[in-house]
């Protein structure tokens, strides 16, 4: 791996000044871990050392250094999927610890209930746990009325139930993915509830846990509908009992009533709307909170009022939510939709039911976001079949209907679409909406990606520009769930298969389908085949998936987005976001920054920047991140790109356009950004913290070493021991690093205080050992 060009931007000229420059237009210098096993000579060779530099002195030490101690520098930092994030490792360790805890408590159970062991006695942990569960069921459920468990046994049983629940919660991204673990946890909670007396505070905890686990079980779509209904019935019973015995001063009453409201709504959905009374009960639970808890803050009260209104709409009451704009369905297309006179600074949504039923195009508005009650659409303004880039595509009635049907299938009655949610002619409303854009997508239940735009649905094998547009990055990362909607003529009888199954949900049979975006991205990187969905499936040939990876080099865009979607580690995710943004473009340069600020936890004021002012918006974003104590995660997002001539800690940015891909201007002309950036699966570990001034100068502290540019004219001074000492001691060659431009630089720590040479300072950024 080579470093970014350093001769112009990454080094600072020095004359006898041995301090690390405080104001430095510097970018990044890292080095390979396998080239310095000792942790010394930290700026040793990057891409082919000319010779070893084995000075024993620690010539990069500093009293004010922010790097780890040398012992930590000696640790090998490998960039791989196995140890990519600290959070991933601790999540795995937590899962293992929970499983070990279950086994330990199971052993305690068998000791606490002597004479009841029924297992095989071969030491198998799984059988020990099952054995312990049978023991407590026999002791507490099948025991004679006059035989009661002791307090110690009850305490152990409660611990066992809690441990089984935690084990189950760690089996999937959203918990409870392992059926046998969940069943054991539910059985243990049932026993604990039977054994606990009403005055024990653990009873409420067990009822809450049982209700939550049964609700999770009822959401398993592969289970028979009657089993799902039985689970939700039991979940409601447990939740009602918990609410009934909750003390009036218990702060958890609000949470329990809200959960109970959600359970009644879930049962309404499982009944396909036949249990209409459940919506009324769900609303009553929320009204009880408002009545019994006047101390709630205004924001919490507004949230509850939103939920009540949305429940009414969900139950069929069209007047439950205020309509701010309405056009009869028969009149659509006769005149442009003009929302200029609606109140500004509101959150606006399309009523899906009214549109699907061909009654009207109704726009509903809220003063606060109805969290989890709507889907948000992600699309490109210039979609398929459009060569003219002057205006946005018209909205196809068929595509909008498909989006509404997809939203309703996810039990969401509203859709947020920027063309209807933003008053495009009102600059104040537009600025307000942009400022809230991250919240809009983060608060939806799911995002619906329409890669082909609003003209027509794209086929899986069809090229689109969705992954190269600036705003779609935030729209893919911020929501809790992201589904891709596409043309799917095969119906329910066909599925996609790679080394994993790709589940496709029919929206309109023979016309459209929907699948998880992450799965589509992963499938686009590997061969995929079509199969019949029968028990003995038949292969129907391969299925190209080119919506995100069709063009030469664009595969890097899919990999970068997957990195941002998959990584939970804050540092790695931030770096992946910066890198993915580098592969995208927009018609408004400033949107390149506005589209990622929310993902990075920063909120700039959009009205403070002109549409072409990406430069100052970038500086302000970096300043805000550093002011929060964040590290400079943007460093090293691409070592293949030249430094930005106006902001050298950043690489050059793609040129903006309304349609088409992201292109970088090079000495050889325009090149696709994705083909230059390359590998997307590494990041800069230990990026520095500091501050940035209004001009974009990044101030930080770090190790530094003098370096000299190697030229044919100065090759004779590349020997650390020059002619004065010739013959006195063996001559040694300087360590050499090479930049992307093939320029070689000699590391010269011996010239730290020497005058008369053209010396630059190279700053070490991140840890000394970083493999990439």
Sorted by where each begins, the domain ranges of the chain are 1-79+698-772, 87-314, 336-542, 568-684
Structure tokens at 555: 């595969």
% residues pLDDT > 90 (the chain) = 39
Q: How far apart are CA 480 and CA 622, in angstroms?
A: 26
Give the DSSP H or E segment for 227: helix 225-245
Read off φ and ψ for residue 117, nearest 5 degrees: -65, 130
Partnered with residue 416 across adjacent β-strands are 376
Q: Enumerate residue ranges in the chain where pLDDT < 70.
A: 1-95, 114-126, 143, 146-147, 171-177, 383-393, 535-536, 550-554, 657-661, 678-682, 713-734, 740-741, 753-758, 764-772
Is residue 187 within a helix (H) or strand (E), and if so which, with residue range?
Answer: helix 179-195
Of 102, 209, 201, 116, nearest to 156 by C-alpha is 102
The architecture that CATH gives domain 87-314 is Up-down Bundle (1.20)
The reported pLDDT for the residue numbered 180 is: 85
Asked whether 258 and 288 are in contact (CB, 8 A), the reply is no
- Nearest-angstrom CA–CA distance, 505 and 372: 21
* Predicted local confidence at residue 657, as pLDDT: 65
**Residue 588 pLDDT:** 87
Could you give the CA distance from residue 394 to residue 384 in angstroms, rounded to a whole number? 11
């Amino acid at each position: 791996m080579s470093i970014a060009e350093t001769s112009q931007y990454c080094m600072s000229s020095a004359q006898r000044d041995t301090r690390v420059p405080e104001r430095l237009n510097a970018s990044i210098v890292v080095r390979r871990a396998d080239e310095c096993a000792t942790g010394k000579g930290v700026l040793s060779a990057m891409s082919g050392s000319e010779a070893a530099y084995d000075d024993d002195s620690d010539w990069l030490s500093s009293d004010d250094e922010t790097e780890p101690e040398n012992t930590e520098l000696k640790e090998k930092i490998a960039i791989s999927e196995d140890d990519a994030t600290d959070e991933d490792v601790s999540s795995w360790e937590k899962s293992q610890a929970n499983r070990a805890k279950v086994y330990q408590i199971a052993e305690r159970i068998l000791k606490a209930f002597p004479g009841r062991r029924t297992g095989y006695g071969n030491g198998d942990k799984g059988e020990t746990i099952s054995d312990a569960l049978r023991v407590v069921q026999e002791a507490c459920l099948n025991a004679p009325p006059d035989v009661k468990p002791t307090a110690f046994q009850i305490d152990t049983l409660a611990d066992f139930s809690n441990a089984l629940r935690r084990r189950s919660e760690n089996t999937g991204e959203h918990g409870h993915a392992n059926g046998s673990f969940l069943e054991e946890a539910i059985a243990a909670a049932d026993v604990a509830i039977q054994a606990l007396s009403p005055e024990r505070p653990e009873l409420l905890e067990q009822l809450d846990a049982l209700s939550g686990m049964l609700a999770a079980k009822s959401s398993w779509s592969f289970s028979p509908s009657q089993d799902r209904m039985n689970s939700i019935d039991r979940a409601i019973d447990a939740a009602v009992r918990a609410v009934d015995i909750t003390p009036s001063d218990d702060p958890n009453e609000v949470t329990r009533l809200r959960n109970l409201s959600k359970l009644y709504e879930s049962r309404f959905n499982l009944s396909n709307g036949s249990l209409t009374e459940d919506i009324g009960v769900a609303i009553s639970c929320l009204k009880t909170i408002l009545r019994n808890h006047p101390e709630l803050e205004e924001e919490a009260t507004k949230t509850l009022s939103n939920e009540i209104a949305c429940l009414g709409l969900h139950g069929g009451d069209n007047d439950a939510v205020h309509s701010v704009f309405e056009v009869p369905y028969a009149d659509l297309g006769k005149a442009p939709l003009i929302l200029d006179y609606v109140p500004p600074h509101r959150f606006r949504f399309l009523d899906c039911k009214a549109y699907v039923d061909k009654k009207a195009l109704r726009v509903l508005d809220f003063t606060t976001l109805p969290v989890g009650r709507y889907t948000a659409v992600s699309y490109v303004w210039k979609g398929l079949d459009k060569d003219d880039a002057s205006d946005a595509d018209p909205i196809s009635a068929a595509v909008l209907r498909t989006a509404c049907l997809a939203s309703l299938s996810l039990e969401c009655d509203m859709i947020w679409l920027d063309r209807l949610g933003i008053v495009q002619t009102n600059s104040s409303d537009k600025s307000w909406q942009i400022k809230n854009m991250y919240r809009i997508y983060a608060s939806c239940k799911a995002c619906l990606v329409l890669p082909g735009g609003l003209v027509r649905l794209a086929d899986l094998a069809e090229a689109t520009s969705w992954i190269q547009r600036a705003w779609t990055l935030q729209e893919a990362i911020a929501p809790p769930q992201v589904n891709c909607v596409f043309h799917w003529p095969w119906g329910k009888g066909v599925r996609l298969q790679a080394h994993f199954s790709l589940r496709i949900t029919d929206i309109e049979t023979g016309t459209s389908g929907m699948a998880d975006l992450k799965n589509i991205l992963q499938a686009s990187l590997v061969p995929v085949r079509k199969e019949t969905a029968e028990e003995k499936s038949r292969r129907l040939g391969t299925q190209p998936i080119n919506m995100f990876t069709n063009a030469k080099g664009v595969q890097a865009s899919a990999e970068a987005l997957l990195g941002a979607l998959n990584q939970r580690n804050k540092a790695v995710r931030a770096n992946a976001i910066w890198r993915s943004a580098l592969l995208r473009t927009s018609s408004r340069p400033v949107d390149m920054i506005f589209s990622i600020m929310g993902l990075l936890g920063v909120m700039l004021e959009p009205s403070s920047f002109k549409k072409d002012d990406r430069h100052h918006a970038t500086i302000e974003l970096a300043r805000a991140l550093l002011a929060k104590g964040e590290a400079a995660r943007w460093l090293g997002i691409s070592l293949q790109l030249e430094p930005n001539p106006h902001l050298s800690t950043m690489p050059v940015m793609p040129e903006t356009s309304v349609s088409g891909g992201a292109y970088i201007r090079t000495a050889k002309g325009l090149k696709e950004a994705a083909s230059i950036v390359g590998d997307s699966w590494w990041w800069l570990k230990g990026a520095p913290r500091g501050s940035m001034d209004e001009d974009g100068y990044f101030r930080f502290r770090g190790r530094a070493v003098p370096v000299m540019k190697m030229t044919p004219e100065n090759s004779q001074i590349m020997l650390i021991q020059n002619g004065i000492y010739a013959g006195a001691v063996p001559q040694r060659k300087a360590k050499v690093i090479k930049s992307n431009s093939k320029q070689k630089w000699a590391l010269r720590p011996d010239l730290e205080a020497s005058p008369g040479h053209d010396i630059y300072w190279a700053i070490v950024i991140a840890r000394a050992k970083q493999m990439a």
